[in-house]
Chains A and B, each alone.
Chain A
Amino acid sequence: MEFLKLQNLTAAYDQEIVLKKMNLEVKQGELLSLLGSSGCGKTTTLRIVSGFLKQREGSVFLEGQEISKTHPSERGFGYVFQNYALFPHLNVEDNVGFGLKQRKVGREEINKKVFEMLDMVDLAAFAGKRPLELSGGQRQRVALARALAISPRLLLMDEPLSNLDAALRIKMRMEIRRIQQEHNISALYVTHDQEECFSISDRVAVMNEGLIEQLGTPEEIYSSPATSFVARFVGFENFIHGILENRGKKLWFAVEKGGISIPISESSIPDKSSVVLALRPDGLELRASESRKKGIPGKVKVATYLGKGYRHLVETELGELIADTKDEVFAAHTNVILIPNSESIILLPIKNE
């Protein structure tokens, strides 16, 4: 049986619908991320699970039990807020022990648990400090320790790293992942950062306009996005509209104008359908136009240095395409040929809306 189950969740602020009959299941001990840009409904989902927001329709089940009517204080979930929400008038020790105190746990037991938590986040030396005396990363760790001290049935995290600087974010996400796996914690994690999300999750739900666009492991989503929205989120920059054609033995992707065809290895999409061909910038090989290779002719508009290579914006008859090279750079106004790497190509159905 699934651990947490969201069934047909619909939510709205005033007239604006932010969740549309959403379904999702989280397994025991799994960290599932909700990934999407702002306004996609990811935080709304988290707030409904926590109980701070009432859904308009649908139910939330925890281990088979409907909890929609349970007060947030009785759900026993740990919540880590974006702004940490530490209690400014209490020191670190009392912040972490707060939940246990509410549960009328004995003083000695609280003390033991608090220091166990503080050891876990490596902050035992800071027990007597006030939140204002701590750095951002330390506050973040206190917030995590406070949420975990109550041994929550489910840990909810709302963009917990977005207020930290880049280096600290990477360190902290490994830390969160380590603690979550060591203690086998079931968690729901909200973020808009694709890299952070993939590095930390067992599974990812990519959300867009109140719906889940794709649900899968980070690897599945990275290598085979199901929609152009997801593809864009995981680094696909080039999208070309065209038709799938079966010409004898081979499958071809044909662009309506310009007569350009690109060979396709295989596809489950039926013949003659309109599709979108998606490619990452490194899936387009860039050659000087003198080479005899077949491809998409174009002219470099601008080239920028990325560190690991160069990125080119190329003007073609299919529109502007982005192509990366490892060490060769083509200056602006150079005529080039773009050769799609057939193994990097992804074909996406066109949404019928």
Chain B
Amino acid sequence: MKRSGLVLIVSILLVYIFLIGPLVIIGFSGFNESEFLDFPPKVYSFRWFFRIFESDMFVSAFQTSLLISVLGATGALLVGLPAAYSLSRTRAKWRRSVLSLFMSPVIVPGVVLGFALLKHVVIALDIEVWTGMVMGHMLIMLPYVIRVIVSSLSNVPIEIEEAAVSLGCSNTHAFLIVVLPNIRSGILAACLLAFITSLNDGPVTIFLTGPGVTTLPIQMLSYVEYYFDPTVSALSVLLMLLTVAIMIVIESTMGLSFFTKK
């Protein structure tokens, strides 16, 4: 075998070990019977999984997370759908710049975004914790929503709308009965992708939490500051399963090609 081939294989292996290794360790330790996080477990059990559902702080944090993600996704969709539609239909020169602007929350580090939101929006405008949290999540979801819907709209040529209009539809009606049914799977994929992004977010959320309002990842973070039992590992396993399930749904509805498409 050529030397370069060997180097490639070794580096691929290393990447996979560093990427997947920690997840495997966490996965195993979630099934540990013992009171402490150790690896590999000596006795396996599901007790920490049951513990999660018995603990009020995780259940209520998860409910908060769900509510915030659902509200944020709805908001992101309400803003993102019209934005994606106009972006995909315009031929103006500013199209690219505006698209990049909408993508910027992905590029700016979460910590920066979270801190900026806290200092210059939430505190400056004296916004209530819940509202600030939903707004922040809407912001981090917006790029995904726009990206996926723009990509999905590129498969719906404008002539289809014009055909509907020439046959007697108003512009709005044409959008509702001709465009919308053809981007349904794109919208679903956009929402799910935004949803998991929001559900798993830590860096932005940590700045926006307040009394009585905390999300699951933040709750997990504060839990591991005090406890060393495998509850958080068990919870991580559940979150990973949820993410994998959602990704499978996205892949089967519209594919993940929008990540690579321009």
Residues of chain A whose beta carbon lies under 8 Å from any beta carbon of chain B: 50, 52, 71-79, 81-83, 85-89, 98-99, 102-103, 146-147, 150
3 smallest beta-carbon distances between A and B, as pairs = A99-B167, A102-B168, A85-B159
Take A87-B178, A88-B182 as given contacts and tell me if A79 and B162 are in contact as well, using a CB distance cutoff of 8 Å. Answer: yes
Q: How far is the CB of A170 from chain B (nearest CB, A)?
A: 25
Please name 30 pairs of A and B residues whose Cβ atoms are closer than 8 Å in the assembled complex, sorted by A.
A52-B165, A71-B170, A72-B165, A72-B166, A73-B165, A73-B166, A73-B167, A73-B168, A73-B169, A73-B170, A75-B166, A77-B166, A79-B162, A79-B166, A81-B163, A85-B157, A85-B163, A86-B160, A87-B178, A88-B160, A88-B182, A89-B181, A98-B164, A98-B167, A99-B167, A102-B167, A102-B173, A147-B166, A150-B167, A150-B168
B162 x A81 contact (CB < 8 A): yes
User: A71–B166 Cα gap in the complex (Å)?
Assistant: 9
Give B94-127 interface residues, CB cut-off 8 Å to A: none
Question: Which of chain A's residues has its CB closest to B173's CB?
Answer: A102
14 other A-B residue contacts (CB within 8 Å) besides A52-B165, A73-B165, A85-B157: A50-B162, A71-B170, A72-B166, A77-B166, A83-B159, A85-B159, A86-B163, A87-B178, A88-B160, A98-B164, A99-B167, A102-B169, A102-B173, A150-B167
Residues of chain A contacted by B170 (CB below 8 angstroms): 71, 73
Residues of chain A contacted by B162 (CB below 8 angstroms): 50, 52, 72, 79, 81, 85
Total A-B residue contacts, Cβ distance less than 8 Å:
59
Residues of chain A contacted by B164 (CB below 8 angstroms): 87, 98
User: A150–B168 Cα gap in the complex (Å)?
Assistant: 9
Contact string against A for B residues 129-168, beta-carbon threshold 8 Å, 1 for contact and 0 otherwise: 0000000000000000000000000000101101111111
Residues of chain B contacted by A72 (CB below 8 angstroms): 162, 165-166
Q: How far is the CB of B253 from chain A (nearest CB, A)?
A: 15
User: A50–B159 Cα gap in the complex (Å)?
Assistant: 12
A81 x B159 contact (CB < 8 A): yes
User: A88–B160 Cα gap in the complex (Å)?
Assistant: 9
User: A83–B164 Cα gap in the complex (Å)?
Assistant: 14
User: A146–B160 Cα gap in the complex (Å)?
Assistant: 12
Question: Which of chain A's residues has its CB closest to B159's CB?
Answer: A85
Residues of chain B contacted by A75 (CB below 8 angstroms): 166
User: A87–B164 Cα gap in the complex (Å)?
Assistant: 9
Take A87-B178, A88-B182 as given contacts and tell me if A79 and B163 are in contact as well, using a CB distance cutoff of 8 Å. Answer: yes
Q: How far is the CB of A283 from chain B (nearest CB, A)?
A: 43
Question: Which of chain A's residues has its CB closest to B178's CB?
Answer: A87
Contact residue among A81, A89, A103 (Cβ-Cβ distance under 8 Å from B168) = A103
Contact residue among A74, A78, A83, A99 (Cβ-Cβ distance under 8 Å from B157) = A83
User: A75–B169 Cα gap in the complex (Å)?
Assistant: 11
Q: How far is the CB of B262 from chain A (nearest CB, A)?
A: 21
User: A233–B160 Cα gap in the complex (Å)?
Assistant: 32
Q: How far is the CB of A277 from chain B (nearest CB, A)?
A: 44
User: A83–B168 Cα gap in the complex (Å)?
Assistant: 20
B166 x A50 contact (CB < 8 A): yes
Contact string against A for B residues 165-189, beta-carbon threshold 8 Å, 1 for contact and 0 otherwise: 1111110010000100110000000
Question: Which of chain A's residues has its CB closest to B156's CB?
Answer: A88
Residues of chain A contacted by B160 (CB below 8 angstroms): 85-88
Q: How far is the CB of B185 from chain A (nearest CB, A)?
A: 11
Give B38-70 interface residues, CB cut-off 8 Å to A: none
Q: How far is the CB of B199 from chain A (nearest CB, A)?
A: 31
Residues of chain B contacted by A76 (CB below 8 angstroms): 168
Question: Which of chain A's residues has its CB closest to B158's CB?
Answer: A85
Residues of chain B contacted by A82 (CB below 8 angstroms): 159
User: A351–B181 Cα gap in the complex (Å)?
Assistant: 54
User: A85–B164 Cα gap in the complex (Å)?
Assistant: 9
Question: Which of chain B's residues has its CB closest to A98's CB?
Answer: B167
A78 x B166 contact (CB < 8 A): yes
Q: How far is the CB of A105 from chain B (nearest CB, A)?
A: 10
Residues of chain B contacted by A103 (CB below 8 angstroms): 168
Residues of chain A contacted by B163 (CB below 8 angstroms): 79, 81, 85-87, 146
Q: How far is the CB of B93 from chain A (nearest CB, A)?
A: 10
Residues of chain A contacted by B173 (CB below 8 angstroms): 102
Question: Which of chain B's residues has its CB closest to A75's CB?
Answer: B166
Q: How far is the CB of B12 from chain A (nearest CB, A)?
A: 38
Q: How far is the CB of A132 from chain B (nearest CB, A)?
A: 12
Q: How far is the CB of A160 from chain B (nearest CB, A)?
A: 12
Residues of chain B contacted by A102 (CB below 8 angstroms): 167-169, 173
Question: Which of chain B's residues has its CB closest to A78's CB?
Answer: B166
User: A85–B159 Cα gap in the complex (Å)?
Assistant: 6
User: A74–B167 Cα gap in the complex (Å)?
Assistant: 9
- Which one of B164, B165, B167, B173 has the greatest number of beta carbons of chain A within 10 Å? B167
User: A76–B163 Cα gap in the complex (Å)?
Assistant: 12
User: A50–B178 Cα gap in the complex (Å)?
Assistant: 19
Q: How far is the CB of A290 from chain B (nearest CB, A)?
A: 61
Q: How far is the CB of B169 from chain A (nearest CB, A)?
A: 6
Question: Which of chain B's residues has its CB closest to A81's CB?
Answer: B159
Question: Which of chain A's residues has its CB closest to B93's CB?
Answer: A14
Contact string against A for B residues 182-200, beta-carbon threshold 8 Å, 1 for contact and 0 otherwise: 1000000000000000000
Residues of chain A contacted by B182 (CB below 8 angstroms): 87-89
Question: Which of chain B's residues has its CB closest to A99's CB?
Answer: B167
Question: Which of chain A's residues has its CB closest to B174's CB?
Answer: A73
Residues of chain B contacted by A79 (CB below 8 angstroms): 162-163, 166
Residues of chain A contacted by B169 (CB below 8 angstroms): 73, 102
Contact string against A for B residues 230-250, beta-carbon threshold 8 Å, 1 for contact and 0 otherwise: 000000000000000000000
